[in-house]
């Protein structure tokens, strides 16, 4: 078995919901880097972006990842932009196998279009999703151990697919 399990993926990819299911299937505790960042800063994510900017938010995210290295028994759900920082791409696999929850940009947009996420408060959020997705795709690829396309899957099917893939991968490594 793995020590922890890390979920990365674009906003709306289902990291929190799938993370909750994975937590109940594995018995691991669910932690969410956005929640830890907000706790650390004593303010909400939109407030951090508004008052201090994205760079400050990214530095807080890195601090949270550093604090998770060495812990065991966690499902770690991350913020969608965590892979944009090189140091984070280095830290993520040190925590545990990194699972990229992927879906088509169109699907992702449908899931986030009514949300208040700071980076999507633009004149054309559909285009923003498309552009951010294209820019981040290679970074998720670089950080991840496995990729699951959840476009046509329920959260439960996605969680089960994650565990099946990780177990399959472990078996292959043991051979």
The residue ranges that bind ligand S3P (CB under 6 A) are 11, 15, 34, 45, 79-81, 117-119
Of 28 and 61, nearer to ligand S3P (C-beta) is: 61
Of 153 and 169, nearer to ligand S3P (C-beta) is: 153
Judge contact between 39 and 148, C-beta under 8 A.
no
Instruction: Name the minimum Å distance from CB 104 to ligand S3P.
Output: 16
Give the separation between CA 62 and CA 38, rounded to whole angstroms. 13
Of 80 and 97, nearer to ligand S3P (C-beta) is: 80
Instruction: Name the minimum Å distance from CB 11 to ligand S3P.
Output: 4
| Residue from 116, 59, 56, 118 nearest 91 by CA | 59
Instruction: Name the minimum Å distance from CB 105 to ligand S3P.
Output: 13
Of 118 and 125, nearer to ligand S3P (C-beta) is: 118
Bridge-based pairing state of the strands 29-32 and 74-77: parallel
For 134, residues 6+ apart whose C-beta sits below 8 A from its C-beta are 105
Instruction: Name the minimum Å distance from CB 81 to ligand S3P.
Output: 2
Of 108 and 166, nearer to ligand S3P (C-beta) is: 108
Instruction: Name the minimum Å distance from CB 167 to ligand S3P.
Output: 26
């Amino acid at each position: 078995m793995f020590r922890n399990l890390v979920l990365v993926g674009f906003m709306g990819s289902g990291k929190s919901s799938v993370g909750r299911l994975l937590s109940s299937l594995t018995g691991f505790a669910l932690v969410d880097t956005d929640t830890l960042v907000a706790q650390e800063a004593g303010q909400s994510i939109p407030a951090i972006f508004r008052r201090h900017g994205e760079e400050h938010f990214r530095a807080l995210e890195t601090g949270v990842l550093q604090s998770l290295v060495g812990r065991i028994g966690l499902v770690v759900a991350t913020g969608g932009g965590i892979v944009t920082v090189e140091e984070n791409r280095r830290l993520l696999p040190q925590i545990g196998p990194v699972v990229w929850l992927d879906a088509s940009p169109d699907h992702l947009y449908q899931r986030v279009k009514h949300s208040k996420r700071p980076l999507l408060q633009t004149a054309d959020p559909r285009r923003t999703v498309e552009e951010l997705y294209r820019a981040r795709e290679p970074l998720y690829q670089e950080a991840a151990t496995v990729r699951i396309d959840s476009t046509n899957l329920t959260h439960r099917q996605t969680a089960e697919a994650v565990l099946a893939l990780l177990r399959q991968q472990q078996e292959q490594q043991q051979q």
